[in-house]
Amino acid sequence: MTGILVSILMGSESDKDIAAKAEDALKEKGVAFETKVISAHRQPEELTRYVKASPAKVFICVAGLAAALPGVVAAQTDKPVIGVPCSGNRSLGGIDALFSIVQMPPGVPVATVGIDNGKNAAVLAMRILNLLK
What average pLDDT is seen over the chain? Answer: 95
Q: What is the dihedral sign for C-alpha 33, 95, 110, 10?
A: negative
pLDDT value at 60 more than 70? yes
The confidence score (pLDDT) of residue 2 equals 58
For residue 103, give the nearest of 70, 55, 58, 59 by alpha carbon: 70
Q: What three-state secondary structure class fits 132?
A: coil
61-117 per-position pLDDT tens digit: 999 999 999 999 999 999 999 999 999 867 789 999 999 999 999 999 999 999 999
Complete domains list, the chain, with CATH = 6-131 (3.40.50.1970)
For residue 18, give the nearest of 109, 73, 86, 92 by alpha carbon: 86
